[in-house]
Amino acid sequence: MTSKQGRALDLADSKILIAGAASLVGSHTADRLIDAGAKEVILLDNFAFGTPEAIAHLDGHPRVRLVKADLMRLPAVLAATEGVDGVLHLAAYMTLGFSQTPWEAIDVNLRGLQNMLEACRVNRIGKLLFASSNAVYGYGSGIRGALVEDGPFHTAGAPPAAILYGASKIMGEQLCRQAHQKHGLDYVALRYSTVYGERQHYRAANALYIMDTYDRVCRGEPPVMPGDGTESKHFVNVHDVARANLAAFVSSATDVAVNVSGPAPVTTGEIVRMVLDYCGSELEPVMQPDPPGTVRLTSGGAFHIPHERAGEVIGWQPEIGMKEGIARLLQWRESQGTR
């Protein structure tokens, strides 16, 4: 396929700001940018969700600057983006946040992004990457087949928090698109699948399942599956996500949304088996329904999320399979004194 041609950043001559930098994706992308020779990497976070520990290894680096600021305050965002060439906008509430404080989550995900877009307009930012999500396809019991970039939004049977989160990402993409049409802002929307990997937190509903399963096995308790183990999930390793972010910055693609997904979908049963195998455990999983009110992002349907468009427009493909990725994550967990 063809895509519009916009600005391609030369990272060695660019200042890049990461909004929501003290996060899983933010910290790994910062590492990649530094390795790629970026002139300066600005880490913007208000630490409402991000943790200083995620970026502690970057403290004192000569090409890294930390800015503690709130996206809801436009003057602070304007000041932080002055002289910046590219922005990676990660800061957002996730599904669990929409379950707990929906109005606050809506405000941050939409008005926070709009403040960043206004700052990009005023400061003539060269390119913005918007961290979207496969939640733009929705969730529901009937979701099937390939979730391609021009697919519909499914809602049947999905919990309200998941629908609200997905809707916020749809609106976020359209705010970026409007900024492109009105002001010429080059942007790429990256529709991440569930991101997991080293420095993993406990906020993402699907990634949390890996952590919960590991923690139970470490305690000698059998892992719990919310069904018969056939529920589809689609993950992408954080190292691959960081690579996708850099690929989007240096590509000339603009005004486009692409899936950033792992090599293949995985079932709940396969995840449990990978964790058990890693731990060398002979425990058998217990099947039981989720308690009422539990937030899960995926359906029971057999779906997959192709990433061919990302290969065509930004030159990216995933490299890390689920078995390798889980092993990396759990090795990191053990290095943190867990188990």
| C-alpha to C-alpha distance for 261 and 212, rounded to whole angstroms | 22
The token duo for 258 is 């692409």
Amino acid at 331: Q
Smallest CA-to-CA distance from 204 within 94, 300, 314 is with 94
pLDDT in tens, the chain (339 residues): 456 899 999 999 999 999 999 999 999 999 999 999 999 999 999 998 888 999 999 999 999 999 999 999 999 999 999 999 999 999 999 888 899 999 999 999 999 999 999 999 999 999 999 999 999 998 766 677 889 999 889 888 788 998 999 999 999 999 999 999 999 999 999 999 999 999 887 655 567 788 889 999 999 999 988 778 888 888 999 999 999 999 999 999 999 999 999 999 998 899 999 999 999 999 999 987 766 555 554 445 678 899 999 999 999 999 999 999 999 999 998 888 755
Q: What is the 3-state secondary structure (H, E, C) of the chain?
A: CCCEECCCCCHHHCEEEEECCCCHHHHHHHHHHHHCCCCEEEEEECCCCCCHHHHHHHCCCCCEEEEECCCCCHHHHHHHCCCCCEEEECCCCCHHHHHHCHHHHHHHHHHHHHHHHHHHHHCCCCEEEEEEEHHHHECECCCCEECCCCCCCECCECCHHHHHHHHHHHHHHHHHHHHHHHHCCEEEEEEECEEECCCCCCCCHHHHHHHHHHHHHHCCCCCEECCCCCCEECEEEHHHHHHHHHHHHHCCEECEEEEECCCCCEEHHHHHHHHHHHHCCCCCCEECCCCCCCCCCCCCCCEECCCHHHHHHCCCCCCCCHHHHHHHHHHHHHHCCCC
Q: What is the pTM of this model?
A: 0.93
The pLDDT score that the predictor gives to residue 204 is 58
Domains, the chain, with CATH or none = 4-197+236-262+304-319 (3.40.50.720)
The single residue listed with the structure tokens 């009937």 is 142
The pLDDT score that the predictor gives to residue 206 is 64
The pLDDT score that the predictor gives to residue 145 is 86
